[in-house]
A and B are shown apart, each in its own frame.
Chain A
Amino acid sequence: MVGLPYDCLSNPLGAVRLTFEKAVASGSDPASFDGKDWGASDLFHDFLFDNGGLSQVPMLNPSTLKWVQPNTLVRFRGMIQDMLGNEFYVGAHKDGDTWRTNKFTDTAQFPMAPSSDMRIWERRLLYCVPVPGQNSWTDFSPEAVKNPYTNSLSPQREKRQREDDATITDVDMQDSCHELQASPSAKKMREDEMEFQLLNSQKTATEETSSNASLVLDAERKSFPCLVKIYDTPETDLKLNDVFEFVGIFTFDPDLTAEKDDSDELAHEFGEDVLVHMPPSKVPRLHCLVHRKLAINDFLSVCPTFELKSNAVKELREALLGHLTAVLGNDRVAAQYMLLHLLSRVHARVDTIAVGKLSLNLTCFNKESTSVFGNRLKLAIEDLLPFTHYLPLTIERLNTVSLSPKKDYNTNRLVSGVLQLAEGSHLTMDETELQAGTLNSIGVENARVLKSLMESQKVEYDFKYYKMEMAADVQLLILSDGKSNLLPADLVLPFRPSSVDSPSAVDADTLKTWRWYLATMQPLPHSIEPDMQKVVEDDLVAARQADRSLGSQDLSRWLTMGRLLSTSFGETSLTMEHWQMVKELERLRRERLQGSM
């Protein structure tokens, strides 16, 4: 992009304007630009991906928010938590004889005469939050993106920044107050700020009563949502709970700050005004230019350049298995199952069955072993997978927590629940603390939601007038004393630790390779050759003849295990050897089950 009069990074709007003017000059009718791109998106695509501009774009997070300038290019990684519908805006208008565009901004860059010819276009609003349960190692180190403005701060800018600070963070509020006192708008802003704090504290108070503190993990990061405005993308591209990286223009306009005046109430009976519930000081706006879906691999900081050589994979597998065995107190069978469990993923949905899920229920946990192994396991999984959750179940929790997301019609928002999770999340449920007790109606509903998640990997979202099932893809691990009836898992395995020695510490590079291994093996394709298929079918029929209690779920589980076992060796088709391993594993498991009865 040599000779471009605008810097894509610090003046993206200029670039947008330029392409627009170019397009108009080349004879296209601005009226036809509705829902279409006139070349701006291509320009940024080139800049970001072909010219390596992506790494220069600052990541939007609470720390960078302090210095990121409005109307510059930023990126944001998050999960789509809610969709707020579409917004109509004046997309293009005539300023005298020239057309101007307002795409990718909140305010007009040129004054609009009220009678001028204008086109109304639409954009979609997505409410995004950082991926729930994201582990700290997935974060980019702050040094990765340097603050490009630190060196060239002019005094004027400094002042500007301070002003921003006043509205964005409440830390410096005390000092900035003095000098800002004079200006009435700043005062208003401050009042506003107070209000939000009040609102926020109320909100957190209610949150705390409804959910345990451990659930509000990392509250700082969790409460960093972003309102992304999407242009020209087909609706099907972006789905709820998808994890995306959005690159776009960050806008912040203090004029847009919501203020409660009397006219508001009149004009908006239902008080659903986006501005009221999502003040720009809490929820930054991002006008998305380019977006891409993220896979787990994108969250690994450095991708080791391993080849898919079977020997290397085998070694990695053995090392990881050894680690898991150590974590699980020398229980190698449990470690084997755990590895398969960590590799599982919903590959397809056929009728009501989610093919590929493998939930694991480790039984024989009591209070003591949970405190040792439960914690150890939790930490080990957190080190290996990017998004993890830990949910201890108690009667009280079940009766109060809201697991499934619910639509709040007062604010017109989808209130997130614990089970609104991104694809590929891992959820550990600890049932050992569950005592006998009575479930109230919320508890019954929660138990039902959990059961449907276990059985069909679906979560019902409550829209009050109807419920909608949303597909989920969550790895579920249950720790319990006996077999969990509340949460019917695919696999029930009595846990038999033989030592309590803590596993040796693992260095960061090894962890990285293991993460890479899990993330790379998981999406491998899989097939069963025809002659192998015959063997499998015969085995299944024979097994069912021998044991009438086997259902289609059991058969389905064996095939899933076969797939996962092949995958764990980096292979893409089922071999006889691996099929035998599956049967052997299942035999060992059955023996344990009978032994524990």
Chain B
Amino acid sequence: MNDLDFKRDKDIAKDFLLNFADLNGEAKYMKVLQDVANRSTKAIQIELEDLIDYKDSDEEFLRRVTENTRRYVGIFANAVDELLPEPTEVLPDDDHDILMTQRSEEGTENADGSDPRQQMPPEIRRFFEVYIRASSKGRPFTIREVKASNIGQLVRISGIVTRCSDVKPLMQVAVYTCEECGFEIYQEVTARVFMPLFVCPSKRCSTNQTKGNLILQLRASKFLKFQEAKIQELAEHVPKGHIPRSMTVHFRGELTRKVAPGDVVELSGIFLPIPYTGFRAMRAGLIADTYLEAMSINHFKKKYEEYEFRGDEEEQIARLAEDGNIYNKLARSLAPEIYGHEDIKKALLLLLVGAPHRKLKDGMKIRGDLHICLMGDPGVAKSQLLKHIINVAPRGVYTTGKGSSGVGLTAAVQKDPVTNEMVLEGGALVLADMGICAIDEFDKMDELDRTAIHEVMEQQTVSIAKAGITTSLNARTAVLAAANPAWGRYDLRRTPAENINLPPALLSRFDLLWLILDRADMDTDLEMARHVVYVHQNKESPALGFTPLEPSILRAYISAARKLSPSVPKELEEYIASAYSSIRQEEARSNTPHSYTTVRTLLSILRISAALARLRFSDTVAQSDVDEALRLMQMSKFSLYSDDRQRSGLDAISDIYSILRDEAARTNKMDLSYAHALNWISRKGYSEAQLKECLEEYAALNVWQIHPNTFDIRFIDA
């Protein structure tokens, strides 16, 4: 490629900068240039996507830009030089300007500068930096995928920052003055090391043979901010049995100080070989070191609120949302390798979705996060459920009640070993702010943490008053706890309250409490035996019977659902109120109340209903949501007290009958629709099959008549 081509390309670049119009029809880059002229910004980000969209650019030009990016950064900078408008604001003169005016005056005076070193390089005049940003479409490269063939090209990669150097000045143009002739001599520096000039190369000095001494002028030279960093492949990009790769990244100018170790970033940049100099070049032999010259930095978003859809995710979510059975499908896709536990998985799905936070006018906050506690025998996959949920959630912290660091669950004041200052270090709950905190071995928690967790679960803050620091940290997190029963295994001879080794004040803060028991059951035993034999025989898990959704889709769907903030319509208020009061009354009637139904319970119902509405992408809570919420709460209670029910002597069929009877009496009607009946009995934790059985049995006794098609019920008046 010769110079002519570059000239033509500069014209294309100029044309693009002048004429590119964004969606609103405004000249996007001219606006940026005006800002640059006014010195309000320094960076000019040229989006490759704009170049693609630009009508006049041909593909050949685009290819040249992506494959020889470094050259084209210079071409665009030259184009900007020519296009830079006059500032529209009055600028205060700084040192640099004074130097510049001086220089330009001198420049016209003694223009014998045929020597290139005497001509002012354009870089020294520039107040801007040009970056070319790679197109954000498509998947970024992993570090592993960047090959030798990518050298010189614009690439986009993702990784985690592992090390960062200090920001240091890097000389871009060295300026010397000659002792003899007084000329300013410029030297452009492109590498990290350069050979300083010692003898004045100006015409006057060389003709006079004076060998003028050159003095480096630090103030007149131009420096760039420079930072070096290392990035490493993300864990999920590393193939099995391999070590993550790493890469050196150079940040210049405005891009410095944007990353810190531990950040997950997406970078676009130019993949370049490091020019070796001096002795190293000899020693390195054939090997070339490489680095990435950063062009843009994108921090990965870890919160739902900032989740950006990638690729066709939006489309897939829309397709899923149309599918009626989304609630079941999503729930089943949680931890698909764990067999059964459908209701628990549903509850966990709702925990992921959550309800919107409410802030009342007087500043009071009502939490929207659902708290769930799983209790059960050892070895019923509680911990695995917890870990799986953490994997699905974009921000999740898994910890055990004992906690491994001194910070524990909440927060601690620690002395910084370097500065000796007191610093506040957040614990797991604080780190999980706006996310999910899974706490295993909840029952083995420190007494101190346990008191603090009361506050976290209702007020969602962590207050600390230690070592002169009094503060309150946000901990807006959904707590998912797993606990073992008091005696290691659940003892059926003791009451649930004895088995649960947690104070009621803490228990009441959980919206749902599940007991997972390992019950003796021929069917499940056979199921398990078959599974184990199958695994040994075929070296794989038996087919699931359905294809679970990918965690990424799950995450996208949940984040889309979390954007909604459903409200409760007026007509449902009455319904919820009556449901609540009936639970209260039931409790009052029973002589051994299992639970304390309080206002918290009512809030729980609302929260679960709102989460369900979010899942349907609906702005209002429907009655079906409330019914499902009540059913889940009932199921969670039954998982605890089902033995009581058996002891009370009522079998399921007669219980269903009495429920329906009461309901009919309450409404003073002889008719009961099937859907309505199903609602009521499912709220009490019975299945549809049991209802059908009940309907048949009592129809045979002529207690009621069943409509042959709709199964609606009509009581026969006695």
- Interface residue ranges, A against B (CB under 8 Å): 34, 82-83, 85-90, 102, 105-108, 120-122, 235-236, 239-242, 253, 255-256, 258-259, 261, 263-264, 266-267, 269-270, 275, 347-348, 350-353, 355, 409, 412, 414, 441, 444-445, 463-468, 470-471, 527-528, 533, 536-537, 540-541, 544-545, 548, 551-553, 555-556, 559-560, 563
**A263-B193, A465-B162, A559-B533 are known contacts. Are A89 and B242 too (CB-CB below 8 A)?**
no
B489 (CB) vs chain A CBs: closest residue: A549
- Bound CA span A266–B528, Å: 63
From B240, B276, B532, B540, residue with most partner A Cβ within 10 Å = B532
From the candidates A122, A270, A466, A541, name the one contacting B148 in the complex (CB within 8 A).
Answer: A122
User: Using Cβ atoms and an 8 Å threshold, which residues of chain A touch B261?
Assistant: 465
- Whether B148 and A544, one on each chain, are in contact in the complex, defined by CB atoms closer than 8 angstroms, is no
- Bound CA span A255–B520, Å: 74
**A263-B193, A351-B337, A545-B525 are known contacts. Are A34 and B149 too (CB-CB below 8 A)?**
yes
- Bound CA span A197–B267, Å: 41
From the candidates A83, A85, A263, A544, name the one contacting B529 in the complex (CB within 8 A).
Answer: A544
**A256-B285, A350-B539 are known contacts. Are A465 and B533 too (CB-CB below 8 A)?**
no
- Whether A464 and B243, one on each chain, are in contact in the complex, defined by CB atoms closer than 8 angstroms, is no
- Whether B532 and A107, one on each chain, are in contact in the complex, defined by CB atoms closer than 8 angstroms, is no
User: Using Cβ atoms and an 8 Å threshold, which residues of chain A touch B239?
Assistant: 235-236
Given contacts A122-B148, A536-B529, 11 further A-B contacts (CB under 8 A): A83-B242, A85-B246, A87-B287, A88-B289, A106-B286, A242-B241, A264-B280, A353-B535, A414-B243, A444-B404, A556-B535
- Whether A85 and B533, one on each chain, are in contact in the complex, defined by CB atoms closer than 8 angstroms, is no
- Whether A120 and B279, one on each chain, are in contact in the complex, defined by CB atoms closer than 8 angstroms, is no
- Bound CA span A409–B164, Å: 11
User: Using Cβ atoms and an 8 Å threshold, which residues of chain A touch B541?
Assistant: 350-351
User: Using Cβ atoms and an 8 Å threshold, which residues of chain A touch B273?
Assistant: 88, 120
From B238, B239, B537, residue with most partner A Cβ within 10 Å = B537
Judge whether B230 is part of the interface by a CB distance below 8 angstroms: yes
User: Using Cβ atoms and an 8 Å threshold, which residues of chain B touch A464?
Assistant: 162
Judge whether B288 is part of the interface by a CB distance below 8 angstroms: yes
- Whether A528 and B537, one on each chain, are in contact in the complex, defined by CB atoms closer than 8 angstroms, is yes
The 25 sampled A-B contact pairs (Cβ below 8 Å) are A83-B242, A83-B243, A88-B273, A88-B289, A89-B285, A89-B287, A240-B243, A253-B285, A258-B283, A259-B283, A263-B277, A267-B276, A275-B283, A348-B539, A351-B337, A351-B541, A414-B243, A465-B162, A468-B238, A540-B533, A548-B520, A553-B379, A556-B535, A556-B536, A563-B536
Judge whether B203 is part of the interface by a CB distance below 8 angstroms: no
B523 (CB) vs chain A CBs: closest residue: A541
User: Using Cβ atoms and an 8 Å threshold, which residues of chain A touch B160?
Assistant: 465-466
User: Using Cβ atoms and an 8 Å threshold, which residues of chain A touch B280?
Assistant: 263-264, 267
- Whether B193 and A355, one on each chain, are in contact in the complex, defined by CB atoms closer than 8 angstroms, is no
- Interface residue ranges, B against A (CB under 8 Å): 144, 147-149, 151, 160, 162-163, 165, 192-193, 228, 230, 232, 234-235, 238-246, 248, 261-262, 273-274, 276-280, 282-283, 285-290, 337, 379, 384, 404-405, 518, 520, 522, 525-526, 528-533, 535-537, 539-541
**A239-B240, A355-B539 are known contacts. Are A34 and B522 too (CB-CB below 8 A)?**
no
Q: Is the interface of A mostly helix, strand, loop or mixed?
A: mixed
- Bound CA span A240–B240, Å: 9
From the candidates B165, B277, B379, B522, name the one contacting A541 in the complex (CB within 8 A).
Answer: B522
- The distance from the CB of A122 to the nearest CB of chain B, in whole angstroms, is 4
User: Using Cβ atoms and an 8 Å threshold, which residues of chain B touch A270?
Assistant: 163, 165, 228, 230, 248
- Bound CA span A350–B539, Å: 7
- Bound CA span A269–B251, Å: 14
- The distance from the CB of B293 to the nearest CB of chain A, in whole angstroms, is 15
From the candidates B162, B240, B285, name the one contacting A107 in the complex (CB within 8 A).
Answer: B285
- The distance from the CB of B427 to the nearest CB of chain A, in whole angstroms, is 15
B337 (CB) vs chain A CBs: closest residue: A351
User: Using Cβ atoms and an 8 Å threshold, which residues of chain B touch A553?
Assistant: 379
- Whether B151 and A120, one on each chain, are in contact in the complex, defined by CB atoms closer than 8 angstroms, is yes
User: Using Cβ atoms and an 8 Å threshold, which residues of chain B touch A441?
Assistant: 404-405
- Whether A355 and B535, one on each chain, are in contact in the complex, defined by CB atoms closer than 8 angstroms, is yes
Which 4 A-B pairs have CB atoms at the shortest separation, nearest pair first? A239-B241, A348-B539, A540-B529, A83-B243
- Bound CA span A34–B149, Å: 9
- The distance from the CB of A32 to the nearest CB of chain B, in whole angstroms, is 12
- Bound CA span A347–B537, Å: 11
- Bound CA span A46–B84, Å: 67
- Whether B533 and A528, one on each chain, are in contact in the complex, defined by CB atoms closer than 8 angstroms, is yes
Total number of residue pairs linking A and B with CB closer than 8 Å:
171
User: Using Cβ atoms and an 8 Å threshold, which residues of chain A touch B248?
Assistant: 270
From B148, B165, B193, residue with most partner A Cβ within 10 Å = B148
User: Using Cβ atoms and an 8 Å threshold, which residues of chain B touch A414?
Assistant: 243
- Whether A88 and B288, one on each chain, are in contact in the complex, defined by CB atoms closer than 8 angstroms, is yes
B530 (CB) vs chain A CBs: closest residue: A537
- Bound CA span A242–B238, Å: 17
From the candidates B163, B246, B278, B526, name the one contacting A537 in the complex (CB within 8 A).
Answer: B526
- Bound CA span A23–B248, Å: 36
User: Using Cβ atoms and an 8 Å threshold, which residues of chain A touch B279?
Assistant: 261, 263
- Bound CA span A556–B539, Å: 12
B236 (CB) vs chain A CBs: closest residue: A466
- The distance from the CB of A31 to the nearest CB of chain B, in whole angstroms, is 10
From the candidates B144, B282, B286, B536, name the one contacting A560 in the complex (CB within 8 A).
Answer: B536
From the candidates B230, B286, B535, name the one contacting A102 in the complex (CB within 8 A).
Answer: B286
- Whether B148 and A241, one on each chain, are in contact in the complex, defined by CB atoms closer than 8 angstroms, is no
- Whether A466 and B163, one on each chain, are in contact in the complex, defined by CB atoms closer than 8 angstroms, is no
- Bound CA span A563–B238, Å: 34
- Bound CA span A380–B568, Å: 74
User: Using Cβ atoms and an 8 Å threshold, which residues of chain A touch B230?
Assistant: 270, 409, 412
From A88, A236, A241, A347, residue with most partner B Cβ within 10 Å = A88
- Whether A465 and B243, one on each chain, are in contact in the complex, defined by CB atoms closer than 8 angstroms, is no
- Whether B193 and A556, one on each chain, are in contact in the complex, defined by CB atoms closer than 8 angstroms, is no
B406 (CB) vs chain A CBs: closest residue: A441
B238 (CB) vs chain A CBs: closest residue: A468
From B162, B277, B379, residue with most partner A Cβ within 10 Å = B162
- Bound CA span A82–B529, Å: 41
- Bound CA span A441–B280, Å: 43
- The distance from the CB of B92 to the nearest CB of chain A, in whole angstroms, is 36
User: Using Cβ atoms and an 8 Å threshold, which residues of chain B touch A563?
Assistant: 536
- Whether A263 and B536, one on each chain, are in contact in the complex, defined by CB atoms closer than 8 angstroms, is no
From the candidates B232, B283, B518, B535, name the one contacting A463 in the complex (CB within 8 A).
Answer: B232
User: Using Cβ atoms and an 8 Å threshold, which residues of chain B touch A537?
Assistant: 526, 529-530, 533
A410 (CB) vs chain B CBs: closest residue: B163
- Bound CA span A352–B234, Å: 22
From B165, B337, B536, residue with most partner A Cβ within 10 Å = B536
B149 (CB) vs chain A CBs: closest residue: A34
- The distance from the CB of B522 to the nearest CB of chain A, in whole angstroms, is 7
- The distance from the CB of B627 to the nearest CB of chain A, in whole angstroms, is 35
- Whether A412 and B286, one on each chain, are in contact in the complex, defined by CB atoms closer than 8 angstroms, is no
- Bound CA span A555–B534, Å: 12
- Bound CA span A528–B529, Å: 14
From the candidates A87, A264, A552, name the one contacting B531 in the complex (CB within 8 A).
Answer: A552
A112 (CB) vs chain B CBs: closest residue: B286
- Whether A266 and B192, one on each chain, are in contact in the complex, defined by CB atoms closer than 8 angstroms, is yes
- The distance from the CB of A516 to the nearest CB of chain B, in whole angstroms, is 26
- Whether A541 and B529, one on each chain, are in contact in the complex, defined by CB atoms closer than 8 angstroms, is yes
B287 (CB) vs chain A CBs: closest residue: A89
User: Using Cβ atoms and an 8 Å threshold, which residues of chain A touch B162?
Assistant: 409, 464-465
- The distance from the CB of A315 to the nearest CB of chain B, in whole angstroms, is 29
- Whether A85 and B163, one on each chain, are in contact in the complex, defined by CB atoms closer than 8 angstroms, is no
- Whether B192 and A267, one on each chain, are in contact in the complex, defined by CB atoms closer than 8 angstroms, is yes
